[in-house]
Amino acid sequence: MHLLKLTFKYIIFLLKEPNYFEQYRTFLLSITENFNQIFDERFTRELLRIYPIRLLVNIGRSIYFVNIQENLSVLDHHTADVGKNAITHNLSAFDNFQTFSIPRVDRLIKPFSSIELLTSNSSILVIGPRSEDDLLCLLGYGFKSEKIKGLDLISYSPWVDLGDMHKMPYEDNSWDAVIVGWVFNYSKAPANAAQEIIRVAKNGAIIAVGIEYNPLTNEEIEKVYGYSIDGTRTQSVAEILSFFGEYVDDVFFSHDIVAKQKDKQSELMVIFSLKK
């Protein structure tokens, strides 16, 4: 955006010059000669911070992997801690691009990316991305693709492993950071999932959790949507932190529900470090 503003200012300046065409020729020549420096890899990656651009990339890649390569897979066996309709609910999102990719992860990744303990070389596990949107968003904030991996009950992407967050296929102390994006509500035992996250995360790892807050009961949700996830209803940031217990160290970011939001659907978010 800053580059565009400077460009328009320069064009206005040139239009006021008597020898405008010579100035314009020089300007275009300088842009051409310095194209790689101006529109470098960082510029291209940062475009992924813009949701409509990221959505187009996400949809294009999903069409290739799901419809052309037919790579969509579902985890055959998962623990009893997974909500009964978790897989069905997430598969239904592939029928509607509005639910297939939801931009709420930006709210969590923006503060996550500002934590100075993280670098572009940090290894990051994203639990429950559904599509590649969360991973593309991380790319937009400068994290390296080879250092990012997703884990989900369903996957079409070589970037996302099939697995259950209650029993993950990773060694102890594997990750510098773990993003748990709106998946604890799909769990009957989020404390068990938290213990597994603690196992695979390194000491001092950054943990970012987002959960949907919904004032409706499971019965009311079932009336609206025809089914419920049969997971856990989390009501506060304090409840999220309680899943991790004594392993919570420094809390860097917290977005809780205040009294005037209690009757509205909203987001619970918290980012903290682990002490093991």
Tokens of 257: 């529900």
CA–CA dist 76, 203 (Å, integer): 32
pLDDT of res. 83: 86
Q: What HEC string does 84-112 produce?
A: CCHHHHHHHHHHCHHHHCCCCHHHHHHHH
Q: Residue range 116-134: average pLDDT?
A: 96
- The yes-or-no verdict on residue 125 having pLDDT over 90 is yes
pLDDT in tens, 26-37: 655 665 566 566
Of 23-27, 107-111, 173-177, least confident by mean pLDDT is: 23-27
pLDDT in tens, 185-241: 899 999 999 999 999 999 999 999 999 888 777 777 777 777 667 778 888 999 999
Top CATH class of 44-274 equals: alpha beta
pLDDT of res. 9: 57
pLDDT in tens, 43-62: 888 999 999 999 989 988 99
Question: Percentage of residues in the chain with pLDDT exceeding 90?
Answer: 54
pLDDT in tens, 7-16: 555 555 555 5
Of 69-73, 88-92, 183-187, 201-205, least confident by mean pLDDT is: 88-92
Terminal-residue alpha carbon distance, the chain: 42
pLDDT in tens, 95-110: 876 677 788 899 999 9
CA–CA dist 140, 49 (Å, integer): 5
Higher pLDDT, 36 or 81: 81
pLDDT of res. 219: 78
Average pLDDT of every residue of the chain: 86
- The yes-or-no verdict on residue 174 having pLDDT over 70 is yes
pLDDT of res. 142: 94
Q: Residue range 120-130: average pLDDT?
A: 96
The pTM (predicted TM-score) of the whole model is 0.83
pLDDT of res. 26: 67
